[in-house]
Amino acid sequence: MAPDDPPPSLENSTPPPVDEQDPGRGTSTALNAVIGGAVGIVLSFVPLSPVLGGAVAGYLEGGDTDDGLKVGALAGLVALLPIALIGFFLLFLLGFGGTPAAFGILGLVGLFFVAIYTVGLGALGGVIGVSVEEEL
């Protein structure tokens, strides 16, 4: 560039791309899932509490329904962990630790249905939470 050349025009220049995530939200999906799971655990005495935990996680996550589905399912998994640990601990204390394998299989089938309930309703709550966040 010669010293007599005019400076380049700034009219047509575009700013660098900005990250897609909302800069006002400083939380991650994992943190939102843990918060939603904690809400589900604290409200476990309420029927359908995984929906409430998933809704909180989905509301905090924002985005589209796929994001809400993912974070709600993760919140359901977080809420499932203490339920499963307490359940297996109580079964062990009641003396079911040394029983035949059929009881263990029955316990795993029960855990499977509890997992479907918790994770499925958490995912539903996540979608509801994202929808509520979009409307507000």
pLDDT in tens, 66-116: 999 999 999 999 999 998 888 888 877 877 666 677 777 887 888 899 999
Q: How much is the mean pLDDT over the chain?
A: 83
pTM value is 0.74
Handedness of CA 81, 83, 84, 89 (dihedral sign): positive
Per the model's pLDDT, the better-predicted residue between 3 and 51 turns out to be 51
What pLDDT is recorded for position 93?
80
Where do the domains of the chain lie?
A: 29-135
> What per-residue confidence (pLDDT) applies to 108?
82
Name the nearest CA neighbour of 50 among 125, 111, 115, 113: 125
> CB of 83 within 8 A of CB of 134?
no
CA-to-CA dists, residue 48 to 45, 55, 91, 121, 128, angstroms: 9, 11, 24, 7, 13
Q: From CA 97, how far away is CA 118, in angstroms rounded?
A: 25
pLDDT recorded at residue 24:
46
- Core vs surface per residue 39-56: b (16+ CB within 10 A) or e: bbbebbeeeebbbbbbbb
